[in-house]
Amino acid sequence: MAFLRFLIGAVRLILKGNKVYYAWCLFLLALIVAGAWEYLHEMLSGESQANMSDSVSWGFFIGHYTFLVGVAAAAIMLVIPAYVYHWEPIREIVMLGEFKHET
């Protein structure tokens, strides 16, 4: 029951906004649709469509992907002690990586 109230409240918040907000949402929706279309096209035609048929470009793709997974894991390992355990020395480092505006 609480989850249903949460969903209804979230939908109400999403539907509030002016014309600029709706234009931005429409733009983001268009990007999502274009990305899904290209993803489907690549899945149907294979990696040759994206010029990833040779081992060098495939290796670059996998290398960058694993690097970014490692960056995300490192960020999580910094955020957990800072916010969950309230460890102040590491929190100063985490603050450098986030955009936080306190009023």
pLDDT tens-digit map of 75-93 = 788 788 777 877 777 777 7
From residue 102, give the alpha-carbon distance in Å to each of 26, 48, 75, 92, 99.
29, 48, 21, 15, 10
Return the amino acid letter for 1: M
Question: If you average pLDDT over residues 25-53, what whole number do you get?
Answer: 83
Any idea where the domains of the chain sit in the sequence? Answer: 1-52, 54-103
Q: Give the pLDDT score at 79.
A: 80
Give the residue, 23 or 101, on which the prediction is more confident: 23
Look at residue 103 in the predicted model and tell me its pLDDT. Answer: 44
17 Cα distance to chain centroid: 23
pLDDT class of 52 with cuts at 50, 70, 90? low
**pLDDT above 90 as % of the chain:** 25
Tell which wins on pLDDT, 99 or 25: 25
pLDDT of the residue at 35: 92
pLDDT given for residue 101 in this prediction: 46
How many other CB atoms are found less than 10 A from the CB of residue 90? 17
Query: Alpha-carbon distance 5 to 8, whole Å?
Result: 5
